[in-house]
Structure 1
Amino acid sequence: MPSASAERGQVTRQRLLEAAIALVGEVGWGGVTTRMVAERAGVAPGVVHYHFSSVTSLLITAGVGFGRVMLDELGTRLAERPGIDEGVDWLLGELSRYTGTDPASLLVSEMFLASTRLPELRERLEELVTRFRSQVAAWLRARGHRGDSEAAATVFAAAVDGLMMHRALDPRLDLTRLAGPLRAMLKEESTA
């Protein structure tokens, strides 16, 4: 059983991670400072560096943790869909909750941009995206896709990412209207 001190440390660490996630959406990856995170989390600035070696380390940990939860949930819930049509429709419906300017969308966009300059972030995001594509490929194979499931999963994931960027530029874009072409692409070599 963890000590009361260890539990308080975990609670503080979680507050720092949550503060970092919120601030990235508000001021951008490069705009987040130790003082801002500490103020948002309700702690002294030195506490940030007690838990993380730098603001960059905090941002990477927070962003990758957020991305892992989001992609794992999408992959798990996609796997529950009985067919390709239902899966595509469900995923586009889920993604329609994101406007492109909401905190989650902004965090993901900022992470992708920051990963072009931060090798550690790029490597960790690559792991997340690779795992998600593997989940999609397994889902496709289980639903009768006979072609190159890994390639189809990669194109599908990239299309979804691109659609989310388009949605940020055009909030009126109805992602659910785009299900037909995506379904056709994925079913092209399927038995289902």
Structure 2
Amino acid sequence: MPKSIAQEENMAHLSAERGKATRRRLLDAAVALVPEVGWGGVTTRLVAERAGVAPGVVHYHFASVTDLLIAAGLGFTAALLDQLAAELSARQDVGEAVDWLLAELSRYSGTDPASLLVVELFLAATRLPELRSLLGEQVGRFRATVASWLTERGYRGDASAAAAMLAASVDGIMLHRALDPGLDLAALGGPLRAMFGEGTS
């Protein structure tokens, strides 16, 4: 018997959902693999094995492993930056926000999977113009959100420059944590608070 329109629509919906789930597994596999083997070490075979799919499925969803890695990396950093921006913006006091940020960064050792993924992503961005542009847009949006938040909190200096300094501090702290695991993040609170305190009302 021919399928009804409703049956065909339901099958199409299920197929689309399976496709989304498979794509999600591929992205998750790439996010997990980059810290383990490095950006250049990720292959179609490794991704397929980690995601539990046939190798051909990888290229059905992504034109190349590089495209997959870019999508996976940018998805990770978008979520991370959005969370940081939201948490900072929710705090009324700049000093309180700095303390929260340092406490949050203390969760990362600099050699943990998340930190390694971000480092690999930044390094790849120096070689891939598309990634550099898209990652730059993400960082730019984060800095713009922080700049607006600083202005709303009475910061009287160059809020855009201050936001850039804060973003660079986050990156720098994570790099230094990898080299100096004993780095006392709490001790950095004073200098950071002083930097922003001088420009607030």
Could you tell me the TM-score, scaled by structure 1's length?
A: 0.97
Q: In structure 2, what is the Cα distance between the partners aligned to 1:142 and 1:51?
A: 43
Does 2:77 align with 1:48?
A: no
Deviation at 1:170, TM superposition (A): 1.1
Match of 1:116 in 2: 126
- Aligned to 1:109, what secondary structure does the other structure show? helix
Q: In structure 2, what is the Cα distance between the partners aligned to 1:79 and 1:57?
A: 32
Match of 1:174 in 2: 184
AA of the residue aligned to 1:174? D
Q: In structure 1, what is the Cα distance between the partners aligned to 2:185 and 2:134?
A: 28
Match of 2:18 in 1: 8
Gaps of 5+ in 2: 1-9
Deviation at 1:177, TM superposition (A): 1.6
Does 2:200 align with 1:190?
A: yes
How many residue pairs align between the two structures?
191
Identity level (%): 67
Of the candidates 12, 25, 35, which is equivalent to residue 35 of structure 2? 25
Cα displacement string for residues 62-115 of structure 1 (whole angstroms, at most 9, x for unaligned residues): 000100000001000111111110000001111110111111100000000000
The aligned runs of 1:23-102 (5 Å cut-off) are 23-102=33-112
Flag the structure with larger Rg. 2
Cα displacement string for residues 116-161 of structure 1 (whole angstroms, at most 9, x for unaligned residues): 0000110011001000101111111111101110001101111121
Q: In structure 2, what is the Cα distance between the partners aligned to 1:65 and 1:160?
A: 19
Does 2:163 align with 1:153?
A: yes
Q: In structure 1, what is the Cα distance between the partners aligned to 2:102 and 2:88?
A: 11
Match of 2:172 in 1: 162
- Aligned to 1:97, what secondary structure does the other structure show? coil
Query: Please, which moves more after superposition, 154-163 or 66-75?
Result: 154-163
Of the candidates 90, 107, 126, which is equivalent to residue 117 of structure 2? 107
Could you tell me the TM-score, scaled by structure 2's length?
A: 0.93
Q: CA RMSD in A?
A: 1.0
Q: In structure 1, what is the Cα distance between the partners aligned to 2:172 and 2:18?
A: 41
Q: In structure 1, what is the Cα distance between the partners aligned to 2:186 and 2:53?
A: 43
Runs of 4+ with deviation above 4 angstroms: none
AA of the residue aligned to 1:12? T
Q: In structure 2, what is the Cα distance between the partners aligned to 1:99 and 1:72?
A: 21
